[in-house]
A and B are shown apart, each in its own frame.
Chain A
Amino acid sequence: MTCDTSYDVIVIGGGPAGLAAALSARAEGNVRVLLIERNDSLGGILPQCIHNGFGAVIFGNDLPGPEYAYRYQEQVEAADIDVMLDTMVMDLTPERDLYAMNATHGYLHFRPRSIILAMGCRERTRAQIRLPGSRCAGVYTAGTVQRLVNIEGYMPGRRFLILGSGDIGMIMARRLTIEGAEVVGVLELLPFLTGLRRNFVQCLQDYDIPLHLSTTVSNIIGGQRLEAVETVRVDEELQPIPGSTKRIECDSLLLSVGLIPENELSLKAGVHLDSRTGGPLVDSTMATNVPGIYAAGNVTSIYDLVDYVSKAGEVAGRHAARYAGAAGTARGGDAVEATVAMRPGQNVGTVIPQQVRIDTTGREEVTLMLRPNALIERKVSVEVWDGDRPIISFRENYSRPAEMMVHTLRAKQMQALAEANERELTVVIQ
């Protein structure tokens, strides 16, 4: 097997992050870019997300997922970017030896100058939430059903119950109803909605689909195929309330119980992960701890809107291209080396990036993406603390776990970071 060293940048994953990364890497200069995608088409999960709600930030338009992806695909096809479809990356080393395979070319070995991890995420499954009961047919993750219904053209059942009020669950409730199935309800373990409120209105309320909060599945009943689901109400500690079980007849149970960044390759390459996000620790150039390896999109942390995934991809692509052009010199080719860490504090679940590179030249825009872990329906103050004093603060209209807070640092705020005493700062929502 010969090693192909002709690529400057290889992007792993052709979803929204990877598409944007490949484009911005190519746009950065005369670099050879290869985009590797394991599916038979580009776009990642977008082609199966046929609902609208994409593109408000990037295109100023409310687009369906396939069209959002198509706009990027067109640009990638027009740009001088090599694309390999149906190709699986099997191994990745810290030295950037990348092994991939497909049915046409067999086993392939590449060593590019830089790599962008854009593998996205996968769905949490029945086992991860330890759902008890029978292991019959008829229990699916919502994304699998979305693929079956929208791409493959099959309905996996006639009468559905959905567990989890995340966006995919609610969107599938509407989708299945439109295709003539009966959706008997959506259950949510937590006492509040976990997806966007607009989806509650336009996917559930508009179609008279009931939502049951503080309710979960206590048993799955059926021999070969699902026959019924037993549900139970839970108390404030999320413990089942005795006597509150109810049997719901259905032939399908959809799980919409969260997403997990897909990082098996990252681990093989020696990339350090953040235990909170489940994805690589990245700095504001989307660089990981391994020189020349960058990461962007849902592989780093679960985003709320695809537009921001694309934006993160752009940042990663730009810096990976610069790194490739300046290999052997300073990491990333930048002179600025100082960084400060951003640690999630009160009411903050995750922060991306976890490290901000200090750049007071104003050339690089740095955007913080915060995921709150508390529901606060009033104006809140977001603050960055240096030891015992806040050095940055800004207002947000509310704090909702379903939505990320997006804040681009202004010059003065970057200056404040540069002057901070501590190397690790804490971000809080109050």
Chain B
Amino acid sequence: MQPKEYDVVVMGAGIAGAMIARALSRYRLRVALVDRANDVGTGASCANSAILHSGHDPSPGSLKAEMNRRGNELWHDLVHELEVGHRWTGAMIIALGEEQLPGLEKLLARGTENQILGLEIISRAEVLRREPLLTPDVSGALWTPTAGVIDPFGGTVAAAENAVTNGVSLFLNAEIHDAVVSDGALVAVQTTAGEFRARWFINALGVHADDFMHLVGDRPDFAITARRGEYFIFDPNRVQVQNVLFPMPTDKGKGILVSTTAHGNTFVGPNAEEVADKEDTTATRDGMAEILEGGRRLIPSLESRDIIAGFSGVRATGNANRDFVIEISAAVGGLLNVAGIESPGYVSAPAIAERVEGLLRDAGLEMVVKPEWNPHRNARPAFKELNHEQRSDLIRRNPNYGRIVCRCENVTEGEIVDAIHSPVPARDYDAIKRRCWLGTGRCQGSFDYPRVMEILSRELDVPMTAVTKKGPGSEFLARTTKG
């Protein structure tokens, strides 16, 4: 296979990689975005707390603090530019009992030092007025009005789609297995989708960022610990929390929160468990009990029988003062590392991309703006969100929207076909699920599996037995009944 030549290769299509690719798509550069999975954003970017943090929490003066504050600011425009599902809910950090009240003052002081606007300590009565389901033990809260919630995969795929539409080449199922360093500079990476040569390589490999650094001989002392966080989603007909509710933070992190999603569900999580295997997103019995118990400290009425789904993600905690690493490698030429991007990584991603852009420019990469660059990405219609008249119009234009495939979330065949043929194509069941929220409701896909398999088989022109849940090796069907 001929090596592919680029100016910049962005490795890892999570939220950071996608935002970086999009930022670079503005310039006359040949940019590739590569990921080993069958879709973009399948790692921590799609399994996290989905919160656009205000930035009150990181240590003042850290890169995290700066990126968070700036990222939050950028997202306020980006959610419109990229048409991503979101809600600017604000967030409350809840103090329980009199003994936690002084902690609120400290948080307020830290937030003020981080230049976060609008922070306010609110009374017990006011907290309970805003969130009546909260425990009566609440004694007050810090209100952070600039926080919000977002559809986390939606943001990643929107950024990737916008990048692709603006000329970035996307390569999926491209797992990196080797790299070529020549005269102290990284010149090529070898992947299962062939060799990529470039002047610059951006390492945005999430939990594997350290592995890549070590592969090319960069910073052997830097290590990423994978910390698994598990979550539960509740039936919206049974539990409805209106806010983002944090417990008081501890040394270990922000704690187990209860929050509404951009979609209007309520969820609880995460715990934080170090896992040896960086891919280990399995759910455990103990972890499940831990987060339910944690959630009940804030909302005592949470019942396990109202859980409709669970998920878990692995966050990349770096050992460099637990701060983000966003820097050009000192040891290897042509490499820029974006590593240790744990919480608040998602909200920080647009700011990280801005910083990467600046670092590359300072390092001499010529960046000429393309006049045809279009920052806007149009979301595809989400049938469920439309009113009766809009739905009627849509079906008249395309009868595919008249066929409901997912009964709980009212996802239509039209939306599924759209997703399969979108700029970042959905090629498996989970990819459609992430884009359309199909199978995320109460039945968890029981009804839609067979229909979606048929649609994937038809649109991708592959046999039913080749349709997968999440890429090669995860085929749903073994054979025909009589075969």
Chain A residues near B (Cβ < 8 Å): 1, 38, 86, 88, 90-91, 99, 101-107, 109, 122-123, 125-128, 130-137, 140-141, 143-144, 147-158, 179, 218-220, 223-225, 240, 251, 260, 264, 267
Contacts and interface: CB of A to CB of B under 8 A. Distances in A.
Given A125-B443, A224-B474, 12 more contacts: A38-B407, A101-B391, A122-B442, A125-B308, A135-B311, A137-B474, A137-B476, A150-B481, A154-B481, A224-B472, A264-B237, A264-B442
A156 B453 CA distance: 12
A335 to B, nearest CB: 37
A105 B282 CA distance: 45
B76 interface: no
Nearest to A222: B474
Contacts of B180: none
Contact of A154 (B389, B391, B474, B479): B479
Contacts of A134: 281-282
Interface in B261-302: 279, 281-285, 287-288
Interface stretch (B13-21, B340-348, B372-380, B392-400): B392-400
B402 A103 contact: yes
Contact of A107 (B395, B403, B445): B395
20 contacts: A1-B392, A38-B404, A88-B410, A101-B402, A106-B392, A122-B447, A125-B443, A127-B444, A132-B283, A132-B285, A132-B288, A135-B281, A136-B474, A137-B468, A148-B450, A152-B464, A154-B464, A154-B477, A154-B478, A158-B478
Sorted nearest first, the 10 A-B pairs with minimum C-beta distance are A224-B473, A103-B402, A107-B392, A137-B469, A103-B399, A224-B474, A137-B474, A125-B444, A88-B404, A106-B395
A225 B471 CA distance: 10
A143 B446 contact: yes
A272 to B, nearest CB: 13
Nearest to A147: B450
Interface of B: 233, 237, 279, 281-285, 287-288, 304-305, 307-311, 388-389, 391-392, 395-396, 399-400, 402-404, 407-408, 410, 442-447, 449-450, 454, 464-465, 468-482
A267 B237 contact: yes
Given A135-B281, A158-B478, A224-B473, A130 B388 contact: no
A127 B309 contact: yes
Contact of A125 (B237, B446, B472, B481): B446
Contact of A123 (B282, B391, B392, B446): B446
Contact of B391 (A107, A126, A153, A240): A107
A154 B403 CA distance: 23
A130 B304 contact: yes
Nearest to A251: B478
B230 to A, nearest CB: 9
Centre residue among A135, A136, A150 by max chain B CB count within 10 A: A135
A269 to B, nearest CB: 13
B189 to A, nearest CB: 23
A48 to B, nearest CB: 10
Nearest to A149: B481
A224 B429 CA distance: 13
Contacts of B465: 154
Contact of A106 (B283, B310, B402, B482): B402
A218 B285 CA distance: 8
B308 A141 contact: no
A147 B448 CA distance: 11
B285 A122 contact: no
A102 B389 contact: no
Contacts of B307: 127-128, 130
Contacts of B408: 264
A107 B404 CA distance: 12
A137 B478 contact: no
A136 B407 CA distance: 23
Contacts of B410: 88, 90
Contacts of A149: 481
Contacts of B392: 1, 106-107
Contacts of A106: 392, 395-396, 402
Contact of B479 (A90, A99, A155): A155
Nearest to A159: B478
A132 B282 contact: yes
Contacts of B468: 137, 224
A156 B478 contact: yes
Contacts of B476: 137, 156
Given A107-B388, A132-B283, A156-B477, A101 B443 contact: no
A144 B407 contact: no
A131 B304 CA distance: 12
A264 B408 CA distance: 8
A105 B464 CA distance: 30
A219 to B, nearest CB: 7
A140 B473 contact: no
Given A155-B477, A223-B473, A127 B310 contact: yes
B469 A130 contact: no
B283 A133 contact: yes
Contacts of A137: 468-470, 474-476
Nearest to A221: B282
B395 A153 contact: no
Contact of B308 (A123, A128, A251, A264): A128
Nearest to B428: A137
B470 A224 contact: yes
A47 to B, nearest CB: 13
A141 B282 CA distance: 19
Given A102-B403, A218-B285, A123 B443 contact: yes
Contact of B478 (A1, A107, A140, A157): A157
B483 to A, nearest CB: 8
Contact of B443 (A90, A122, A153): A122
A164 to B, nearest CB: 14
A225 B473 contact: yes
A251 to B, nearest CB: 7
B132 to A, nearest CB: 20
A104 B444 CA distance: 28
B389 A1 contact: yes
B471 to A, nearest CB: 7
Contacts of A158: 478-479
Contacts of A99: 388
Contacts of B407: 38, 88
A103 B310 CA distance: 33
Contacts of B454: 152
A109 B310 contact: no
B310 A133 contact: no
A240 B475 CA distance: 32
Nearest to A88: B404
A224 B471 contact: yes
Contact of B446 (A86, A144, A220, A240): A144
Given A90-B410, A130-B304, A225-B474, A141 B446 contact: yes
A126 B444 contact: yes
A137 B465 CA distance: 13
Nearest to B429: A137
B11 to A, nearest CB: 22
A245 to B, nearest CB: 12
